[in-house]
Amino acid sequence: MSTFALVPDPDDPELTRNVEGCDHRGQAVALSVVVERPLTLYLNGTEVVTLMTIGDHPELLALGFLLNQNMLAGDDAVTAVDYDGDLDVVVVRTRSESSYEQKLKRKIRTSGCAQGTIFGDLMERFDDIRLDPAAEVRCSWLQSLFLQIGRQPSLYQKAGAIHGCVLCERDRPLVYMEDVGRHNAVDKIAGYMHRHGLGGRDKIFYTTGRLTSEMVIKTVQMEIPILVSRSGFTAWGVDLARRAGLTLIGRARGQRFIVLSGGERLVYDLDFAKAAGDDGGDLSAAHKIRTDRSATSDPC
């Protein structure tokens, strides 16, 4: 039985539509494509941003966006989150005013696709966050997570052109979100965590997207100590991960992965000699260095 509390719904007719075209032979085809729609976010009556999104879970996206932009603090009292589907507007109301007007003046744009933005003072909390040094991640957990996530029906499998993010605990995937921008998928999970009172200190975050500075910053702000991706790294993403003590695992496919930060959290509990034949070749020597957490030599 699946352990997911929330998963994508590829059968939702609002999220995809069929488009007719032709293939390389000139033959007619009908292709399922992801729908993009604007969502305008208001905080206490003032317009903040318009995001391009697939449109599912707009309330969670709004909450997570404001939290990850430091426009809401974790202890701010949210009194209402109202969504109007006809206007494509979501309004987040709090008991007291925030300082978001000043933050908007220092807006900068990142490498995130679609409407990925952060603010000039986003790093104010970054250096104050202490990720759990006792957290660990086992290779067997990663292998199990990859299998469970890969088998879960998704919009990516149906239509492509989309990113996915999954909140996990040990070898259990909990919340799976997708969107046209990976930053939106992250923010939906942040909104879910806030709404359900979930902490990040014992969690693992999986993403299909690149391990950029934005992904690292948002993961650290959610106080999640381990970030995993099937994609690659950016140099600033690695630098920030090392600065925050975040375990950063990329190029994760099958039995293979690369760790560029926080390698002390890795527990290599798989028999790689047997596992190597399962994914088509030998694992690199870097994957064989640590056999337990007591090892003293760790290039990560």
Cα separation of 250 and 206, whole Å?
A: 10
Residue 107 has what pLDDT?
A: 52
Reply yes or no on whether 22 is catalytic. Answer: no
Query: Does residue 126 carry a pLDDT above 70?
Result: yes
> Where do the domains of the chain lie?
37-127, 137-270
Check residue 70 and give its pLDDT: 84
Residues in the chain, total: 300
List the one residue out of 84, 52, 70 whose CA is nearest residue 184: 52
Average pLDDT over residues 13-26: 95
280 vs 120, residue with greater confidence: 120
DSSP label of 41: E
CA distance 223 to 49: 25
Q: What's the mean pLDDT in 51-67?
A: 95
| Phi, psi of 18, rounded to the nearest 5 degrees | -85, 135
Query: Do the beta carbons of residue 204 and residue 169 sit within 8 Å?
Result: yes
CATH class given for the domain over 137-270:
alpha beta
DSSP conformational letter for 282:
P
Helix ranges (DSSP H) in 74-211: 100-105, 139-151, 155-159, 182-196
- pLDDT for res 282: 32
What CA–CA distance (Å, rounded) separates 246 from 226?
A: 6
Would you say 100 and 48 are in contact if contact means Cβ atoms under 8 Å apart?
yes
Q: What is the mean pLDDT of residues 112-117?
A: 45
Identify the three-state secondary structure at position 165: strand
Tokens read off for 296: 């003293």
Its pTM stands at 0.85
- Mean pLDDT for the stretch of residues 182-192: 96
Once rounded to an integer, what is the mean pLDDT over residues 122-139?
A: 89
pLDDT for the residue 280 = 36
pLDDT of 253 reads: 87
Q: In the 8-state DSSP scheme, what is residue 284?
A: P
The whole-angstrom separation of Cα 61 and Cα 190 is: 8
What's the pLDDT at 227?
A: 98
**What was the pLDDT predicted at 2?**
58
**32-46, 167-181, 263-277: range with lowest mean pLDDT:** 263-277
CB 267 within 8 A of CB 293: yes
Once rounded to an integer, what is the mean pLDDT over residues 13-36? 95
Considering the candidates 113, 165, 168, 300, report the single residue annotated as catalytic. 113
- pLDDT category at 293 given cuts 50, 70, 90 is very low
> Which CATH code for domain 37-127?
3.10.20.10
Instruction: For residue 172, give both structure tokens.
Output: 């259990």
Using 50, 70 and 90 to split pLDDT, how confident is the model at 283?
very low
pLDDT tens per residue, range 247-273: 999 999 888 999 999 999 999 998 765
Select from 139, 141, 132 the least CA-distant residue to 173: 141
CA distances from 50 to 45, 58, 194, 261 (A): 14, 12, 21, 34
The per-residue pLDDT of the chain, averaged, comes to 85
Query: What angle separates helix 58-68 from helix 182-196, to the nearest 10 degrees?
Result: 90
DSSP helix/strand/coil, 228 = strand
Lowest mean pLDDT among 25-34, 90-99, 132-141: 90-99
The whole-number average pLDDT for the span 168-182 is: 96
- Position 297: which residue type? S
